[in-house]
Amino acid sequence: MAAARRLKRVVASQPGFINLKSTSDAADSISSRRKRVNKNKKKNWHKHSDINDVEEFLEDVRLQERTTGGLLSEKPDDNLFFLDLGQPKKAEQKEPVEEKKRRKKVSRPLRIDLILQHDSLVPPPKDVLAHQQPNAKKLRRIAQKAEQLAAKGVVPRRQKQLLRRQAVVRTAKKAVTEANNNPDREYYDIWGQETKSPGDPWFLQQTGKKRVKRPEKLNEKPSVLPAVEVIAPGGSYNPDFFSHQALLEKAHEVEVKKQKEEEKIEKQLAVNKEDTATEETTFREQVEGLVEEDEEEEDAETVPNEEEEDVTVGAITQAEKKTEKQRKREKAYKIKEQQRLADRRQTGRQQQLFQLRSIKASIKQDEEKTETKQKLRKAKQEAQKAQPRRLGKLKFQPQDMEVQLSDELAGSLRQLKPEGSVLKDRFKSLQKRNLIEPRERAKFKRRLKVKYVEKRAFREIT
């Protein structure tokens, strides 16, 4: 309470302070008898402390701030007083009353706006969180760097992309759709080609209205082989003799190749002659451990003695310290050797000037070799297009050639026997054209072990 009264006395003693509240209650408060209360406890401070004078003072300050925008003692004289110069002179031509009322009515704001208008001159408190910006320090650093680059004349990447982008073609206004029952409406052909509407390609691509460019690789076929391969003329039911013999020869070559591969595998798996047991090796295995080993022990004792005689302890050599004269001689020799190598390189360069023709011929020869290799590589790639690729863990196994021998040929279609399978042929064709991967039938794996149980009837009989 003492602090509140001290604050009031200090403020009241300031020059120019005008109190807008009446102080009629001040005499009553002074005349009232002072109460004796215990103020040692904090809960009695607010209960028995008289702070009416401080609240009146603060309320008066708030009133001045709301009505005048600040304390009257701090206002300049121009805001508080004005100079009365008398009644202004009337204009020669008086303004009509109706015009004056109309102008006043137009300039007067609406009543709803007056109600909603803020009547206090105290500005609203500043919201610090509203003015805070996330990553402000980082954004400030980026802006400073951009200013430095702009001062140097460096254009940002985003701005370059915008400059490189084509100008946006302004589309015409969309025509108003006409009614279906309008006889003057243009005829629309549903099978005709649609007119492409012009527009910014970048905008159409980003909005999903433009098709993504399909890679050229996807337009290529996996294989150059035809979907249906025509059989050789020798495979007919009544072929020509020479064409049939050519087909038989081709089938013979395929079988010979398979036979050679099988023989090669058998040779690799066969046992070597050196590893096979002979009569001598069999006899040694049977007699091993029966012969006395005295002679072998004597030989074993003599061998280490001979080795000890041959071994000589190398003398420990200690490097001698080089003199100053030796160091200078080595340095001079090193410089001389470097100079000799430099002169040799220079002489080699000069000699190459006289070998320009041979160098040119060698370069031309290398280019021809490179071109030949490129052609071979390209031809190999073209040949590989007709071969089945390995798409999985299994290789493509070609289908066996369906060939009939000379005595199996039929004279007519009635005597022809059906061979092969259309389903297998189509399946192998898909594998050969790299459309599906080769597969084999899954092997059956028994998870549970087979358990043999004797039935009760069998046990009773036995």
Is residue 270 predicted with pLDDT exceeding 90?
A: no
Q: Is 205 left (phi over 0), alpha (psi -120 to 50) or beta?
A: alpha
Is residue 445 predicted with pLDDT exceeding 90?
A: no
Residue-level pLDDT at 260? 96
Which pLDDT tens digit goes with each residue over 243-255? 999 999 999 999 9
DSSP state letter for 190: T
Residue-level pLDDT at 91? 52
Is residue 427 predicted with pLDDT exceeding 90?
A: yes
Average pLDDT, the chain: 80
Integer Cα distance of 273 and 209 in angstroms: 77
Which pLDDT tens digit goes with each residue over 40-88? 888 888 788 888 899 999 999 999 988 888 888 888 888 888 888 887 6
Q: 345 falls in which pLDDT band (50, 70, 90)?
A: very high
Which pLDDT tens digit goes with each residue over 450-460? 888 888 877 77
Integer Cα distance of 258 and 401 in angstroms: 13
Which pLDDT tens digit goes with each residue over 11-39? 555 554 555 555 445 445 555 566 677 87
Integer Cα distance of 58 and 8 in angstroms: 10
Listed residue (382, 395, 403) closest to 431, CA to CA: 395
Listed residue (64, 32, 62, 63) closest to 50, CA to CA: 32
Domain boundaries, the chain: 2-77
How much is the pTM? 0.40
Coil, strand or helix at 37:
coil
42 vs 130 pLDDT, higher one: 42
Do residues 21 and 60 touch, judged by C-beta distance below 8 A?
A: yes
Report helix, strand and coil shares of the chain as percent, to nearest 5. 50, 0, 50
The alpha carbon of 427 is separated from its chain's Cα centroid by a whole number of angstroms, namely 39
Is residue 335 predicted with pLDDT exceeding 90?
A: yes
Share of the chain above pLDDT 90, in %: 27
Helix orientation angle between 324-353 and 356-385, rounded to the nearest 10 degrees = 80
- Identity of the residue numbered 156: P
Listed residue (69, 194, 166, 165) closest to 123, CA to CA: 69
Is residue 4 predicted with pLDDT exceeding 60?
A: no
Listed residue (272, 250, 270, 251) closest to 262, CA to CA: 270
Residue-level pLDDT at 169? 44
Residue-level pLDDT at 346? 92
309 vs 234 pLDDT, higher one: 234
